[in-house]
């Protein structure tokens, strides 16, 4: 029986105990108020400014392209602009309502919506993602010791309107050969509270398996036919707080309606027996009894 109060542990331990892992299997997530040190949070936060100063409007290192998809109706000038590395998969995207300009890069750093494939861009991100002893112990306990990174993708919410990320299961976006071997780790860099768009989850909602996602006016999402927001709990975390969650757990983050920015790191991992699968194959797997794909069909993305 789940209560509407989230279970949030005070501190990420050196090694999670069996009760914690049992709780993860049942609820589909574990949250900890205190996981990164203030120094780690500071370095990770300053890294955002460092990356934006280094790459934004630097034509040698990145190309800038105008946003697509959910921002397509808002794009004017630098709004929703995407900066793509010329040498790697690293890219970041400006919030759809903010106009990126080369003469105010620190302000721009506070108005980024998304960072993708950023783990190798700075040692602090590689450390947190791949070497942090307590995090390694936690992920190892959840996925097995030989787990591997799957992706790095962080969403941020600028103050005063950072966009929502509606209800979804991460496995609706991914392509893997099994559902039980993917976990996400989400780390707050600012206080994350309801008003600025903290994580909300449906405890135990992973157990039902894949659910039907639809492209709506906002994004690829689970509609209220599939989830009841009344079952949700908010996961409010201070800077350095962390949540680990199952790839099938329904979760969302509302829009930032406050004047407090909400930045985060996010990494996903796969177990040793989880392989990336061709998308066509996965579409048959993440399907209903009628064989129809329930995940996010990118061919339906507005361009």
Ligand X SMILES: O=C(O)CCC(=O)C(=O)O
Q: Which of residues 247-266 bind ligand X (CB under 6 A)?
A: 251, 253, 264, 266
DSSP state of 198: -
Q: Which of 110, 132, 44, 116 is nearest to 260 (CA)?
A: 110
Site string for ligand X, 174-203 (x = CB under 6 A): -----------------------x------
Contact flag: residue 236 with ligand X (CB under 6 A): no
Contact flag: residue 165 with ligand X (CB under 6 A): yes
Closest residue to ligand X: CB criterion: 253
Q: How far is the CB of 34 from ligand X (least distance, A)?
A: 19
Contact flag: residue 170 with ligand X (CB under 6 A): yes
CA angle 26, 30, 32 (to 5 degrees): 155
Residue 113 makes CB contacts below 8 A (sequence gap 6+) with: 80, 93, 94, 95, 96, 155, 156, 157, 158, 162, 163
Contact flag: residue 169 with ligand X (CB under 6 A): no
Contact flag: residue 35 with ligand X (CB under 6 A): no
Q: Which of 24, 29, 30 is nearest to 11 (CA)?
A: 30
- Size of the chain, expressed as the number of residues it contains: 303
For residues 31 and 264, which CB has a smaller minimum distance to ligand X in the complex? 264
Q: How far is the CB of 155 from ligand X (least distance, A)?
A: 4
Among 61, 75, 105, 153, binds ligand X (CB under 6 A): 153
Contact flag: residue 233 with ligand X (CB under 6 A): no
The SS3 call for residue 172 is helix
Q: How far is the CB of 164 from ligand X (least distance, A)?
A: 8
Give the integer Cα–Cα distance in Å for 105 and 156.
16
Find the DSSP H helices in 154-212: none
**Number of chain positions touching ligand X (CB under 6 A):** 9
Q: State the residues that interact with ligand X by CB under 6 A.
A: 153, 155, 165, 170, 197, 251, 253, 264, 266
């Amino acid at each position: 029986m789940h209560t509407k109060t989230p279970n949030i542990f005070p501190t990420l331990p050196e090694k999670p105990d069996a009760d914690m892992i049992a709780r993860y299997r049942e609820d589909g997530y574990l949250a900890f108020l205190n996981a990164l040190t203030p120094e780690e949070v500071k370095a990770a936060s300053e890294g955002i400014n460092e990356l934006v100063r280094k790459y934004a409007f630097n034509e040698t290192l990145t190309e800038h392209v105008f946003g697509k998809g959910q921002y397509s109706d808002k794009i004017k000038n630098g709004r929703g602009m995407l900066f793509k590395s010329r040498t790697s998969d690293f890219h970041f995207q400006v919030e759809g309502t903010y106009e990126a300009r080369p003469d105010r890069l620190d302000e721009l750093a506070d108005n980024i919506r998304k960072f993708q494939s950023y783990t190798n861009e700075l040692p602090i991100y590689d450390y947190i993602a791949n070497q942090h002893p307590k995090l390694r112990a936690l992920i190892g306990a959840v996925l097995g010791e030989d787990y591997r990174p799957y992706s790095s993708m962080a969403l941020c919410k600028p103050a005063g309107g950072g966009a929502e990320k509606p209800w979804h299961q991460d496995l609706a976006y991914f392509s893997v050969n099994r559902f039980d071997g993917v976990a996400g780790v989400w780390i707050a860099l600012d206080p994350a509270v309801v008003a600025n768009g903290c994580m909300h989850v449906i405890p135990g909602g992973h157990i039902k398996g894949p659910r039907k996602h639809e492209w709506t006016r906002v994004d690829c999402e689970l509609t209220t036919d599939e989830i009841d927001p009344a079952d949700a709990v908010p996961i409010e975390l201070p800077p350095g707080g962390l949540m680990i969650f199952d790839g099938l757990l329904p979760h969302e983050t509302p829009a930032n309606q406050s004047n407090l920015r909400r930045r985060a790191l996010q990494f996903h991992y796969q177990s040793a027996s989880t392989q990336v699968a061709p998308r066509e194959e996965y579409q048959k797997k993440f399907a209903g009894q009628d064989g129809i794909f329930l995940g996010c069909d990118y061919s339906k993305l507005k361009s």
